[in-house]
Amino acid sequence: NYLEGLSSDTKIISSEDLKGIFADIKTIHQLNLAFLNDLESRTSSYNGSKTRIGDHFVKFCPYFRMYQNYCNNYDNAMVLLTKYSEKQSFNTLCLEIRDKCNGKTLQSLLILPIQRLPRYKLCLTEIVKNTENNHPDIIDLKRALELVEETTTLINERMKEYEARQQVREIEARFEKRVSFVKPHRKFK
């Protein structure tokens, strides 16, 4: 994988910049492994009229908020990638790693966590739409869909707030004298 491959040579990319690119990816990966393992154990003996997954989504929904920091950091990660893509040694190493990753670029993999929650929303929407109203899982499925929608909306709102605060910081940095525009209530509109 890219994280391990790029970690192997600190002359090519600093460990600080590596953290800047990959942010909370290890935590998100562990969360998704646990989610997948639980889901697979639920569906291993699938029975269309009895198997339940809605409560599983409901249980994991609070943890999906972990995506917030990753989403907030995504633009910074892309800036770092652009900076390093100007280095031949970085590009050469990325090409080697890409061959081991089924030809997927680092950029194409880094966007996946951001796309995850909207995909869960689409998936749950389809499951709810195709589940009978008397199925034992329908209530939890509908609740899970609500929670995923709420979490996605919350993350999107917080990303907008974060971006607005970043714009205030950028304006503040333009002044030669030290000024302090950044306050919790201030945002750029």
The burial of 189, by beta-carbon neighbours within 10 Å (0-12 exposed, 13-18 middle, 19 or more buried), is given as: exposed
Contact yes or no for 117/155 (Cβ under 8 A): yes
Residue 182: predicted pLDDT: 59
69-87 residue pLDDT tens: 898 888 888 889 989 999 9
Q: Which two tokens stand for residue 171?
A: 């304006």
181 has a pLDDT exceeding 90: no
Q: CA angle, corner 11, sides to 8 and 13, nearest 5? A: 75
- Res 186 pLDDT > 70: no
pLDDT at 11 over 80: yes
Q: Are 148 and 117 in contact (CB under 8 A)?
A: yes
Instruction: Tell me the one-letter amino acid at 177.
Output: K
Query: How far apart are alpha carbons 33 and 14 in whole angstroms?
Result: 28
Mean pLDDT of 79-98: 93
DSSP 138: H
The per-residue pLDDT for 42 is 86
The predicted model scores a pTM of 0.79
Dihedral angle over CA of 58, 59, 60, 64, nearest 10: 60
Q: Compare 119 and 182 and report the one with higher pLDDT.
A: 119
b/e for 4-36, b at 16 or more Cβ within 10 A? Answer: ebbeeeeebbeeebbebbbbbbeebeebbeebe
